[in-house]
Amino acid sequence: MERCVIVGGAGIGDYDYIRGKLKADDFVIFCDSGLKHLEKLQVQPGLIVGDFDSHANPHLPVETIVLPCEKDDTDTVFAVKEALKRGYEEFLLIGMTGARMDHTLGNIYILDNLDSQGKKGTIIDDYSEMEMISGRTAYIGGEYAYFSVLNITGLARGICIRNAKYPLEDGEIRSGYQYGISNEVVPGRTAEVSVREGKLLLIKIRSEE
């Protein structure tokens, strides 16, 4: 099955970069104010969801789910749940990080939720790419020269970081002490991050060059 892309309402500055991350066969869900990105992203929605408290319902000839304004789930969380019901295994979330820190943090925890269900989730913005690591090795290189690993779920053990300016072997990071912030890929190499127990949020940062 193709990938599900979910578009939220946080700001996007570099539309060319974000469009470059999209695929022709992506199933795209626009969430309420995420519709402000519709024209510049130049993609066709497969589904629109929202309570339309921050963007008018465009009444396009596209499947649309109108939600109540008072609810437990944000429009984005509802979109993820709906996509899971439809069988999607891989998710790309855009328009998810911005000035509303409450929404930003809530959206980051969607990655944890997806990982807990064995699904692959990634958030990208103008500067970075985020994913959860648990029981596998992640690789950092190419356009990403910098990275951070944070524990947002409690305790992570057996952390290994290789081919980086600050390597680590069999380390431990607790959520109350984040010392894995701001590392660098060794030039010409591909950095590796793995964790034996628990999980980590990996944030890959684009090169400033």
The domain spans of the chain are 4-126, 133-206
Question: CB neighbours of 24 closer than 8 A, spacing ≥ 6?
Answer: none
Q: Which CATH architecture has domain 133-206?
A: Sandwich (2.60)
pLDDT, position 1: 73
Strands (E), 78-127: 90-94, 120-124
Return the DSSP state at 32: G
CB-count exposure of residue 107 (10 Å: 0-12, 13-18, 19+): buried
Q: Which CATH architecture has domain 4-126?
A: 3-Layer(aba) Sandwich (3.40)
pLDDT over 90 at 69, yes or no? no
pLDDT, position 65: 95
pLDDT over 80 at 78, yes or no? yes
164-206 pLDDT, tens per residue?
A: 999 999 999 999 999 999 999 999 999 999 999 999 999 999 8
C-alpha to C-alpha distance for 175 and 99, rounded to whole angstroms: 23
Other CB atoms within a 10 A radius of the CB of residue 39 amount to 9
What is the residue type of 171? G
Band (pLDDT 50/70/90 cuts) for residue 53 is confident
What DSSP letter does each residue of 35-55 carry, written as one string? GGGHHHHT---SEEEE--SSS
pLDDT, position 56: 87
Q: Give the number of C-alpha atoms closer than 13 A to the C-alpha of residue 114, restricted to the C-beta side.
A: 33
How long, in residues, is the chain?
209
Question: Is the torsion defined by CA of 184, 8, 64, 50 positive or negative?
Answer: positive
91-140 pLDDT, tens per residue?
A: 999 999 998 999 999 999 999 999 999 999 999 999 999 999 998 999 99
pLDDT, position 208: 62
Instruction: Please determine whether the domains at 4-126 and 133-206 fall in the same fold group of CATH.
Output: no
Mean pLDDT for all residues in the chain: 94
68 φ, ψ (degrees, to nearest 5): -70, 150
C-alpha to C-alpha distance for 123 and 5, rounded to whole angstroms: 10
pTM reported for the whole predicted model: 0.93
C-alpha to C-alpha distance for 188 and 56, rounded to whole angstroms: 48
pLDDT, position 54: 83
